[in-house]
């Protein structure tokens, strides 16, 4: 009986702890919207969904055909992979760019004030063949798109 | 300073396109020096801000997986010839640079 009670207390404790963890992950405690602070949690996250959650506040995204990712099908040099993201929708607040197979998947978050078009280009490093993922936040909702890029020489390490 | 940034801003049909190249090593912190085996410390740009006539038009947070000598291009509505465009960056070591140019 006593043992059981202890167990119950332990369980309770762990549930509480994980709720706090979730809250942090969901961006409730660390306002990812504040621009001054670099979103360390998001950039150091090792899993895709965690990175998305930390960057955008929610790990669930809806695939959307309105997002176009322009990236080469085959990248000869993984150190320089040109990527353009264009979203054909209104009210885009942020665009997050992730590389699926990198140690830290999140590459960049672009904050777009009103008047800035959801059309950004940059170049990323890719460790190995995998998907480039775009997460677009528009009107408080998250949309995503992905595109596979084959990398023949990795860009990380070496 | 402003020697690390190359920028071009052009207005066509009411939309301004800003293209920029920054020279920066963008070291991930994962790489090792092949000779000594020591890890090369991370050194990368974390923040890039672009302003049009003092108003922010783009704010980026970057991770270490942006390529060396980063390229950035984006578009915004408005802006006309002669307007000022300011681009600045800040890295994880606290180094920074900025440049001011005019829309062409």
**pLDDT, mean of residues A131-138:** 96
- pLDDT beyond 90 at A4: no
| Contact between chains at B73 and A112 (C-beta distance less than 8 A) | no
pLDDT in tens, A64-87: 999 999 999 999 899 999 999 999
**pLDDT, mean of residues A34-55:** 86
> Domain holding B62: CATH number?
2.60.40.10
ipTM of the complex: 0.94
pLDDT in tens, B54-86: 999 999 999 999 999 999 999 999 999 999 999
Residue A122's CB is within 10 A of a number of other CB atoms, namely 24
Whether B75 and B8 have beta carbons less than 8 Å apart is answered as no
- As a 3-state breakdown, chain B gives helix, strand, coil percent values, each rounded to 5, of 0, 55, 45
Question: Angle at the Cα of A35 (from A127 to A91), degrees rounded to 5?
Answer: 85
Residue A2 or A31, more confident: A2
pLDDT, position A29: 41
| Alpha helix (H) residue ranges in chain A | 2-25, 40-44, 48-56
Name the residue of chain A whose CA is nearest to B18's CA: A120
pLDDT, position B34: 86
Which of B69, B70, B86, B6 lies closest to A120, judged by CA?
A: B70
Residue A51 φ then ψ, to 5°: -65, -40
| Structural domain count of chain B | 1
Mean confidence (pLDDT) of chain A: 82
pLDDT category at A5 given cuts 50, 70, 90 is low
| Contact between chains at B30 and A156 (C-beta distance less than 8 A) | yes
Strands A67-70 and A116-124: unpaired
- pLDDT beyond 80 at B1: no
Query: Phi/psi class of residue A17: alpha, beta or left (left: φ > 0; alpha: ψ in -120 to 50)?
Result: alpha
- pLDDT beyond 90 at A57: no
Helix (H) or strand (E) holding A142: strand A141-151
- Residue B26 belongs to domain spanning: 5-102
Owner of token pair 């140019």: B101
pLDDT, position A20: 46
Interacting residues of B99 by C-beta distance below 8 A, sequence separation 6+:
B2, B5, B7, B86, B87, B88
pLDDT, position A36: 53
Please report how many Cα atoms fall inside a 13 Å half-sphere around the Cα of residue A105, on the Cβ side: 24
Residue B99 or A157, more confident: B99
| Contact between chains at B58 and A111 (C-beta distance less than 8 A) | yes
Q: Which of B15, B67, B92 sits opposite A79 (nearest CB)?
A: B67
Nearest chain B Cα distance for residue A81, angstroms: 8
pLDDT, position A2: 57
pLDDT in tens, B4-59: 999 999 999 999 999 999 999 999 998 888 889 899 999 999 999 999 999 999 99
Q: What percent of chain A has pLDDT above 90?
A: 66
Exposed, middle or buried, A46 (CB in 10 Å: 0-12/13-18/19+)?
exposed
């Amino acid at each position: 009986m006593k043992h059981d009670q202890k167990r119950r207390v332990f369980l309770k404790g762990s549930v509480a702890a994980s709720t706090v963890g979730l809250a942090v992950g969901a961006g409730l405690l660390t306002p990812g919207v504040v621009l001054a602070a670099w979103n360390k949690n998001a950039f150091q996250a090792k899993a895709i969904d965690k990175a998305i959650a930390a960057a955008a506040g929610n790990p669930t995204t809806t695939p959307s055909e309105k997002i176009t990712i322009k990236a080469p099908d085959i990248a000869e040099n993984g150190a320089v992979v040109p990527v353009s993201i264009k979203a054909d929708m209104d009210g885009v607040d942020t665009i997050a760019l992730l590389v699926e197979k990198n140690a830290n998947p999140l590459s960049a978050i672009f904050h777009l004030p009103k008047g800035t078009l959801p059309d950004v280009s940059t170049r990323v490093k890719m460790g190995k063949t995998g998907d480039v993922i775009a997460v677009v936040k528009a009107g408080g909702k998250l949309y995503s798109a992905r595109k596979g890029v084959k990398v023949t020489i990795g860009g990380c390490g070496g | 300073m402003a020697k690390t940034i190359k920028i071009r801003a052009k207005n066509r049909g009411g939309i301004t396109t800003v293209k920029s190249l920054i020279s920066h090593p963008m070291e991930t912190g994962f790489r090792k020096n092949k000779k000594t085996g020591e890890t090369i410390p991370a050194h990368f740009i974390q923040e890039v801000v672009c302003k049009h006539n003092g108003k922010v038009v783009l704010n980026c947070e970057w991770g270490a997986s942006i390529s060396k000598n980063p390229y950035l291009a984006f578009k915004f509505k408005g802006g006309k010839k002669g307007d000022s465009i300011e681009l600045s960056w800040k890295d994880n070591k606290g180094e920074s640079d900025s440049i001011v140019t005019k829309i062409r």
